[in-house]
Amino acid sequence: MTGLHTPTNWCKSSYSGQDTNCVEIGRVRDGAAVRDTKDRSTGYFTITGQQWVTFLNAVKTNRFD
Instruction: Write the pLDDT tens digit of every residue in 14-32.
Output: 877 777 778 899 999 989 9
- Asked if residue 29 is part of any domain, the answer here is yes
Other Cβ atoms closer than 10 A to 14: 6
Read off the pLDDT band of 34 (50, 70, 90): very high
Q: What is the number of residues in the chain?
A: 65
- Asked if residue 65 is part of any domain, the answer here is no
- Asked if residue 20 is part of any domain, the answer here is yes
Share of the chain above pLDDT 90, in %: 57
With a cut of 50, say whether residue 42 has pLDDT above it: yes
Domain count, the chain: 1
- Asked if residue 56 is part of any domain, the answer here is yes
- Residue 1 has what pLDDT? 44
* pTM of the shown model: 0.74
Q: In which domain, by residue range, is 9 found?
A: 3-60
With a cut of 60, say whether residue 46 has pLDDT above it: yes
Q: In whole angstroms, what is the distance from residue 55 CA to residue 35 CA?
A: 15
